[in-house]
Amino acid sequence: ILLATGSALAALSSCNIALVKNTIVANCLAQGHLTIPDISPSTQVILMSFNKISYLTESSFPPLASAKTLTLGMQLAGELYIGESAFGRLGNLTFLDLGGNKHLMLHTKAFAGLGKLEVLLLDHSDLRDGVLQNGYFQELLSLKKLDLTGNQIQMVRPDPSFSALKMLQSLHLKRNKIESLCGEDLQHLQGHHLSMLDLSSNQLSYRQPRISQPMCTNPFHNMSIDTLDISSNPWNVQGAEQFFQTIAGSQVRHVQMQHSSSLGSSFGFKNIPDVNAATFSGLNKSNVMSLDLSNGFISMLSPRVFSSLPQLQALNVASNKINRLDKEAFFGLQNLQSLNLSYNLLGELYRESFEVLKSSPLQSLDLKSNHIGAIQYNAFSDLSSLQSLNLGDNSLTTIPSMQLLSLKYVFLGENRIRDAYGIGSFASSATLIDLAYNRLQDLGEFWQIIRIRTLEHLFLSHNMISRCSAKPEASIPEDNNLRILDLSHNSLGTVWTSGACLNIFSNLKKLISLDLSQNYLSTLPENLLQGLVSLQNLDLSSNSLLSVPNQLLQGLASLKILRLNSNNFITLSPTAWMHLPSLKFLDLKDTTFI
């Protein structure tokens, strides 16, 4: 019994040692340790999370001058006390994780000696206001990131020692109980530039009595912030307006305000106001470059609602309830480059809604997953810089009638489009066109699409293509640039069995990937693939092929990947592979040989 007990203790005192990318790692995770085990002084990464350590003092660790990373998250003893100078023997530590210790208790000098520490995680540790107010971090002069997510903090009032933390860039206060920031709350962070201040998932509303008093002045005075995250707070329109007025003049580059459940009237409600021109007026001099209002309940974009944001480059209002766009909704956004209106309730689009963006350098417009069934003639024609347009997952039956000369990326998948009429003028300079999951029936449409000389990627999968109206003498332009072609999930077997469109792949000399899977193919014309001199990936899987004609793969000297899986071959002749010197992967899984 004594021998067995001794062996068990020896096992607990050891850790798994590994060399990972020239770094010595001691993996002591979830080994039931009650104390710090013996660790080699040369160890650089120490993983001690999920153990049963309850108490750490200055003598708990052996000298570990090489240690850079230490994780002590989620100890299972019920509580964890960190005593004075507990990490004093790890003076070169740069990363320390103490997160997930639900009853974490800290001596005020627990972090003494960690002058090189850059990242400190104290998330989900039941910490209160005092963690910011009692000088715990005064010696962490190299600290860049402090994570206090998921604690019980109500008042954010960093103590004077924060003035010396000049390296601090990222402060995470998500999922606490913060109701407001006012006046001198952050006075000891003045002069700092934060790359991230995360205040999401708190109780900020700026509707409490304290907020309405004149003493609630700008908490970000003499500070600048790259990203301010105030998502998932109980904002309404009045509270948001009050908050932005309070921080007026502060330099904030990116504002994230997602999941604001009371910001907007939703669909069919009139007792809750939508955002308006006054809502963001306090940000007029903040030089905001991006605003994220996604996953909210905004139902209408009213006149000049964003006019106080002249420097805005990216606007995201996806996943709201927007069903109306005022003709002046985007007034004043002369620097806008990206507009995301996806996952809303828009049914019709009019030119007047986008005319005010005529002078804007708008490059990306996302309208995916609305209910758009009608688009006015030339609705986007004023957007002369537009390069990416996503109209996928809507109810369009035709290609929009307009000419967009700068358009490069066209997403029209998951609509009800029956033909490609007008695609040449609509996207005359496109490099990518997605028409997958539509109702195209005629393979002859390919000849119309391929006339777009700049086209490199074409997706026509999941349509109803089963016939070809192209004349036999119709030819593919030799100067085409097509590289990727997806024709999967159609009925091309019917087309080629009838003897039509046999020259569809002629002159596609730059094509590198061709997908013909799930097309009810039982046989293939021997000369179908001739001319595909650059083809590297060919997918013929999930068909009903009985054989591979000897001449079919002739000339495919560049082919590297060939997928023939899930077919019903009678036989496969070895001569079929003789002309494939570059072949590296042949997939025959789930293939039935009759």
In a domain, 197, yes or no: no
Q: Both 31 and 69 in a single domain?
A: yes
Q: Both 349 and 400 in a single domain?
A: no
Specify the amino acid at residue 77: A
Q: Both 428 and 569 in a single domain?
A: yes
- pLDDT tens digits in sequence order for the chain, 594 residues long: 333 333 333 333 579 999 999 999 999 999 999 999 999 999 999 999 999 999 999 999 999 999 999 999 999 998 999 999 999 999 999 999 999 999 999 999 999 999 999 999 999 999 999 999 999 999 999 999 999 999 999 999 999 999 999 999 999 999 999 999 998 999 999 999 999 999 999 999 887 554 445 568 999 999 999 999 999 999 999 999 999 999 999 999 999 999 998 888 887 777 788 999 999 999 999 999 999 999 999 999 999 999 999 999 999 999 999 999 999 999 999 999 999 999 999 999 999 999 999 999 999 999 999 999 999 999 999 999 999 999 999 999 999 999 999 999 999 999 999 999 999 999 999 999 999 999 999 999 999 999 999 999 999 999 999 999 998 888 889 999 999 999 999 999 999 999 999 999 999 999 999 999 999 999 999 999 988 999 999 999 999 999 888 889 988 999 999 999 999 888 888 887 888 999 999 999 988 776
Q: What is the pLDDT of residue 12?
A: 38
Q: Both 470 and 354 in a single domain?
A: no
Instruction: Count other Cβ atoms within 10 Å, centred on residue 313.
Output: 20
Q: What is the pLDDT of residue 522?
A: 94
**Tens digit of each residue's pLDDT (9 = 90 or more) over 293-310:** 999 999 999 999 999 999
Cα(551)–Cα(526) distance, rounded to whole angstroms? 5
Cα(375)–Cα(226) distance, rounded to whole angstroms? 37
Domain boundary among 312, 344, 379: 379
CATH of the domain at 66: 3.80.10.10
Instruction: Count other Cβ atoms within 10 Å, centred on residue 214.
Output: 5
Q: Which DSSP category does 70 fall into?
A: E
DSSP letters, 326-387, are -TTTTTT-TT--EEE--SS---EE-GGGTGGGTTS---EEE--SS---EE-TTTTTT-TT--
Q: Both 30 and 63 in a single domain?
A: yes
Q: Both 371 and 482 in a single domain?
A: no
Instruction: Count other Cβ atoms within 10 Å, centred on residue 479.
Output: 8
In a domain, 272, yes or no: yes
In a domain, 4, yes or no: no
Write down the pTM of the prediction.
0.92
Domain boundary among 325, 350, 379: 379
Q: Both 560 and 411 in a single domain?
A: yes
Q: Both 224 and 352 in a single domain?
A: yes
Cα(382)–Cα(391) distance, rounded to whole angstroms? 17
- For 393, half-sphere exposure in the C-beta direction (CA atoms, 13 angstrom radius) is 10
Q: What is the pLDDT of residue 136?
A: 97
Q: What is the pLDDT of residue 208?
A: 58
Both tokens of 247, joined, read 């921080």
In a domain, 202, yes or no: no
Sign of CA dihedral 79, 84, 90, 91: positive
Q: What is the pLDDT of residue 141?
A: 97
Q: What is the pLDDT of residue 576?
A: 79
Q: Both 355 and 226 in a single domain?
A: yes
Q: Both 512 and 578 in a single domain?
A: yes
Q: Both 404 and 532 in a single domain?
A: yes
Q: Both 366 and 416 in a single domain?
A: no
In a domain, 562, yes or no: yes
> 510: which residues sit within 8 A by CB, 6+ positions away?
480, 481, 482, 483, 534
Q: Are 361 and 335 within 8 A, CB to CB?
A: yes
In a domain, 106, yes or no: yes
- Collapsing DSSP to helix, strand or coil, 97 comes out as strand
Q: What is the pLDDT of residue 214?
A: 59
Domain boundary among 117, 147, 177: 177
- Tell me which residue range forms the domain holding 261: 216-379
Write a three-state SS string for 131-165: HHHCCCCCCCCCCCEEECCCCCCCCCCCCHHHHHC
Instruction: Provide the domain count of the chain.
Output: 3
Cα(185)–Cα(164) distance, rounded to whole angstroms? 16
Specify the amino acid at residue 263: L
In a domain, 386, yes or no: no
**Tens digit of each residue's pLDDT (9 = 90 or more) over 472-483:** 888 889 999 999
In a domain, 331, yes or no: yes
